[in-house]
Structure 1
Amino acid sequence: MKVITILGLVDKSAEYKYGEMLSKSYSLKTSSYENMLPLLMDNFGKQNVVPIYTKLAKDKQVKVLEDRFGSKCEDMFDDRNFIENENNFYEILSIINNATSGDDEYIVDLTHGFRHMPILATISLIAQSVGNTEKIRHIFFAKEVEQYKVYEIIDLKEFLELANMSYMLEIFIKNYTISSAIYDFKNENFKDLRDSLWIFSNHLMSNSLKAFGLNLVKILESIESIRNNEEISIFKNSLEKIEKHIKELREIGKKEEHIKFYEMAKILNQNGYLLNAITLLFEATGHYCVERFRGFGKEVDEHISKYISMIDPNADDKKFSFYTLRLQSRNFVKKNIDNDGNEFKEIYLFNPETLGWSPSKLNNTKGDKKPRKKINKIHSILKNTMLGIENIVEFKNLIISAEKFRNNLTHGNSESKIDNSKQELKILLDNYKKLCIDQDILRVK
């Protein structure tokens, strides 16, 4: 482990001691030192101490070292760590960055750096530690307890965690992304919030609205655990923004499935996740069809209810999926509202008269030999109800347009050029709101 210290001009003996937290891990060989350089050499080993220095600081400290250790210790002053011009900020930053590079863990001591040097060192540490503070063991600073006489060595590393948390929250607010791997925190409450946000992000980016379950509750609980800590003032605004937004998402999660999918599609579009947004909007159309078809009549309602009961993950015989139900519902709308007089020949739901048939019987019986009286009646109710709805063609076109837009984005816009994808998606979202939410076009009045 390297110990990097910025040399100053102090050369008068004083009493040094570790603060409460550091004293649990370290102890000093003696309490009296001229400054932090001999203290660090005495307690961490000369070979591990890396001084960053100006000519004036070196000249002062070699005398201190000679008086204390009987040697000027010239060999520890590496030319690469020499600050030739203390007003060249870029040179100083480069020297600090080089000293703290590599795979070693290190302690940085900022106690005696004069004027702007501790500030530049802090900037360097923050820049290097964004997302990863593992290499930095401690940031020492000898706080003056009694002027020129007593100093308490404290650890400033906790402030890097605060900076990291602030950065992490701002990134999450902007794009819902986070990586649990790169944000390392010792603070358990910070870890809990990081993990909850990471799970939420994963669900959301995979278009799984499971994120509206217990995870939102965990995020709010983590925020509550952190909120009363006065140290959080530097990222209090970010924390409050996230809390407000999570509460808004929790309210969205209480809505009908199709509205929930629409609301999230709208939010993701605003944040630039167009493919995620159109995928959710397209799924919203399927949810909407399923939810409203159940109001088309007792026979249809019973049929869909039976279908849904067979999807139940707790059922012993799970035969269908919600995805299939949404897919078939959309297809039924797309192919049955032109009033061409033809029967719907594709599968929609299941055929009540063949439900108990074995797979081999289903496969070996030709389509025209299978009984269709009951299923045709159900299809007829669905179709005739839709044909009686004003502007139903507009809803059909919305489904077709959403599907085409999704397919186009999925294939990298290879089918046709989209000049303004975000704006085009906004139009689809607006049409969905008008037809499915404001007009609720499929609701039987």
Structure 2
Amino acid sequence: MKRLFWVLLMLVLPLCLTAQEPQVGLISLRGPINPITAAFLKENLAAAGKRGDRLLLVELDTPGGLDTAMREAVQAIFSAPVPVAVYVAPSGARAASAGAVIGLAADILAMAPGTNIGAAHPVGLGGKPDPVMEAKLVNDAEAYVEGIAAKRGRNVELARRMVRQSISLSAEAALAQRVIDLVAPTREDLLASLEGRKLQRGGKEVVLHLAGARVVTHEMGTRDRILDAISNPDVAYMLMLLGIAGLFFELSNPGVILPGVIGGISLLLSLFALQTLPVNYAGIALILLGIILFIAEIKVVSYGMLAVGGVVAMVLGSLILFPSPEPYLRLSWEVLAGAVGVTALFFTVVVVKVIQAHREKPITGVEGMLGEVGVADTDLAPEGRVLLRGEYWNARSEEPVRQGEKVRVVAVTGLHLTVRSSADEDDVRSGS
């Protein structure tokens, strides 16, 4: 029994020591703040509490993002079960607009040298709003940031100026003005500086003990990375066009399947992406109108007028689709020009081919048989039989035709052909 006890002790003891090993969780938020990044932050805050992490370190580099996503992130930080440190890094990174507000909400806000924070003036998604609405937006954002800064003991006046005057501060200036807590060149330096730091959380004093803590990085899963990628305006726009084109081909040629499958998946993904972006639905309507006009040009030959209207509608719709003045929430000119150009070129080629097909000589039915050349299978005097396209037909000729001579069809009456000898035509061509 003693031997069994010591064996079990040797097995369990390492597990207990491992479980008690101090740990710091690390995540990175890079790029625009959107519902995907906000959900990723919330999930990791909850997981850090379950793991018993001493600290969750958020390395931040963002130009800003959506107001709703920013507020979700701030609420998650305030209710986090573990202390949260936001570290604007590496050098050259920024915490602008929504990123600045998220940083101010953290228990600890640090920056690497060569970074900046600020420019938190709110921007209406539909462009510049009227003065009254703009004043409401600014006042609301100012009060929101003021409350966050006061809660964390940061410089309230500077936080207000970030909103009202869109000021931006370097790491050193932000530290001097008590906007951030410290400047750290590296992650290791930051964690070393935080050892023994006292924080106020929920009315209680918490002391950080990070010495010897293991830093564990938590990356976005494949699902979140895909959803974050398609939340890019350029990707969402291309998915929408691909979805419309795929469904159009499937409806035009039922049973092909592949275009319909690709189009359906692309359209559903684009609809998800549009939920995470500022969208003007008039832009979507104009793009759909443009596609309809292109299709109408195929059915109704308007000498290019419908196609021109389709290009104009598509360009206008693309321009107003994402009305945000922020570059990272707008459609890029390269993608817009490329997509409109390729779509217009494709439908132009289709229209040209349709017109050419209409102008070509028919090859089926009665019209397709007129002018065809066959061979007299019997003498035609005046009736007999001819071989045409591998088929035997009863035929009649006003002039006698010998067996084996070539004949040309001049009329079709039911199942009877009216022909004439093509030998005379060949003689005329050779004589001329």
TM > 0.5 between the two? no
Q: Which has the larger radius of gyration?
A: 2
TM-score, length basis structure 1: 0.27
